[in-house]
Every structure is written in structure tokens, then in C-alpha cells.
Amino acid sequence: MRRITRFDPAPFRSQVAGEITGFDPLERLDGKLAKRLDRFSSLAVVAAEDALRDAALMRVEEPEEFGVSIGSALGGAALAEDQHQRYLVGGIGAVRPVLAISVFGAAAACNVAQHCALHGPTLGNTNSCASGVTAIGEACLLMQQGRARRMLAGGVEAPLAPLTFGAFDLLRAMSAKWNAAPARASRPFDRARDGFVMAEGAAIFVLERAEDAVRRGAHVYGSIAGFGLSNDAFHMSAPREDGSDSARSMLTALADAGMTPQEVECVSAHGSGTPPGDAAEARALERVLGERLPRVPVVATKGCHGHALGATGALEVAIALLALERGEVPPSVNADDPDEPVAVAAAARSMRIENVLKNTAGFGGLNAALVLRREA
């Protein structure tokens, strides 16, 4: 995190963000494609390429059985904002001809499918900050139903534009006390937290059936064992205070995985760093874990990477899978003085864990959860 450089943040209460530095689509993509895609779709396409390369699937067989599921809270909103300014100055002739096909929520998923020549089911959900986890869960459901053999799934977000950023600043949802110390601004579960730090990013995974992965000798980081969804049906920007519906999402994921709450070994929390959000999540975890809550490691990593809205859950799934593989529970950076009864730790811990319960929540009362298991 750092003071925003993409635009002048002086008019806003919050002036810090998690910016990606050094990303130039022209270094990774064909020049014509790089010029056509906005930052939102470019991040998705590059992340998809990286996922396929890591999975040794750069040559895709049976593309009609290979689908795409990508979540994003805001899609191409930043491009739309930029093009509106151009329209005000130069009229419609100054607007990019591809604007209409760039800004809709599924544009990234469609660009990934086209670039990678994947003809399977394609989804682009916009379930706010729960959309990355929702995309992964929905991809698993499609595979379970036999509608796809493999899926590219995850989340992408590129929201750092003045009006988009300012809209969240108006809600007073973002940190404003730590502008002079950006690296300390995102403080999940910490007593000094005052809001989240907006970020950008992308995380996309190759999902495939276990037997296919074993047959081709793939590097398997872990498995998706369960998926749950719910809605608070309470408020558009505030969570239900007792955490009951968030808990229901997590319990649904555990039931889908054939697990009980007593078997949970680690939690990857949403941990946005907002006072009401963290408090409600703590109540939800208390409902799920009961008296075990103070003893189950809870990981909240937004102190490292900020809150990339729809991409954040997918980023945290990646971190959780690496924790399972490496036997190390990552730290909850900036959780120096926790004021909720959750077992966050400021330092990494060597600890073999067999499963992680991943929780996410978003505006609109949207909740999504996954159960991740370590590869045997």
C-alpha cells in the first residue's frame, strides 16, 4: 500500500491504495490485443495465461469442455469513468469505439475465453466483494453437474479511478486515519482499524477433476471441498450485526464438504478492516466455531495486499492454498491489538493444516464461503 499515484487523491478522506506497479500489458500481450483491452480485462487475461502455464495446459484439448468463471465487483467501471471525461471534452467522437464491449461485468471472462480459445460455459458474476469466491464455487458446481471438465476461475478488479474511489470514500468505508503511514492503514480486527484500503489485482485458478489432474501429473495445490452462499437481506452497505447469515454461508460450505465445525483447522477471514464488518464476522465465526474460536488460527491478510473488492477472495484462496501446501499459517499484518475474540497472529506460524474455511462478504449482504483441503 502507498499514497495513490494513479490520480490526485487530495480531495478525498482516504488517500492510500494497493496499486499494482510495473504492469504493462504490451509486455505480455499482442500489441493489438493490449491496446483493445482495458486494465480490468488485461489483468484477467494475463492472470489466466499464468494459471494455464503453471498448470502445464498451454495447449488446451477439448476446449468445448473448458469453461471460465470470473467475478468482479465493478467490472470496467474505471474505463467508463475515463471515457465519460473524454466524452465531456470531445463528444462521442473522442470515446473508444470498444467502450460498450469493455465495461460490462462479464467482459473479463469473455476476453479470457476468447484469448484462450475456451468454448465451455462462461460466467461473469458481480457479487460485490464476494464475487471471486462465488466464481470459484460456481465453477465447481458446473463441473459437478458435468457441464465442464475444466474451468478457469477467480476474480479480477481494477477500480482505482477518482469517481469510483471517491464513491467508496463517501460511504466512509475506507481508512482515513493512516494516510501518513500507508503500510499500516489496512488493519483487520485491530482496535485501531478505521476502514479498508482499496486495491487492484487478479487471481485465477485452473480447476479440474482430481482424476484428470492425477492422470497428467499436475501440480495440485489443494482441493475445493465445499461451497456456501447466503444473503443478509439487511442493508446495502452494512453487515447484519449478529453475523447469522454469514455463519449460515460457512456452515453450508462445511456441510457441502461433509465436515463439522469441530474439524475446521484454520480460517481465512474476510477481515476487511472496517469496524462493523470485522465485528459482524467475529460474531459469525463465533456461531460457527463456538468455544473453539480463540484456538483456531484466523488469517486476515488484507494488511498485506489491501482489499481488491471482487478479486480479494480469490487472492486469499491462493494464499490459503499455499499455506496448506507449505505448512505455514501466514500472518495477519497490522493486527497488533485485536479487539475481537479471534486468534489472529502478527507473525507466520509453522503448522501443518489439513483444511481452511474461507469466508467472504460484500455490499448487498452477499456472503460466500469455501472449504479448501490440502492435497494428500
116, 129, 140, 266: which is the annotated catalytic residue?
Answer: 129
Measured between alpha carbons, how far is 269 from 273 in angstroms, rounded to an integer? Answer: 11
Place of cell 502478527: 346
116, 266, 305, 307: which is the annotated catalytic residue?
Answer: 307
369, three cell numbers: 464461503
Is there a catalytic annotation at residue 270?
Answer: yes
Is there a catalytic annotation at residue 116?
Answer: no
Q: Using H for helix, E for strand and C for coil, what is the string for 181-220?
A: CHHHCCCCCECCCCCECEECEEEEEEEECHHHHHHCCCCC
Contact 15/9 with Cβ under 8 angstroms? yes
Residue 234: exposure state from Cβ atoms within 10 A (0-12, 13-18, ≥19):
middle
Measured between alpha carbons, how far is 300 from 326 in angstroms, rounded to an integer? Answer: 18
List of E strands, the chain: 2-3, 16-17, 66-71, 122-125, 150-157, 201-208, 222-231, 267-268, 298-299, 328-329, 349-350, 355-362, 366-374
115, 266, 270, 305: which is the annotated catalytic residue?
Answer: 270
Measured between alpha carbons, how far is 257 from 252 in angstroms, rounded to an integer? Answer: 9
Is there a catalytic annotation at residue 129?
Answer: yes
Measured between alpha carbons, how far is 343 from 77 in angstroms, rounded to an integer? Answer: 37
Active-site amino acid positions: 129, 270, 307
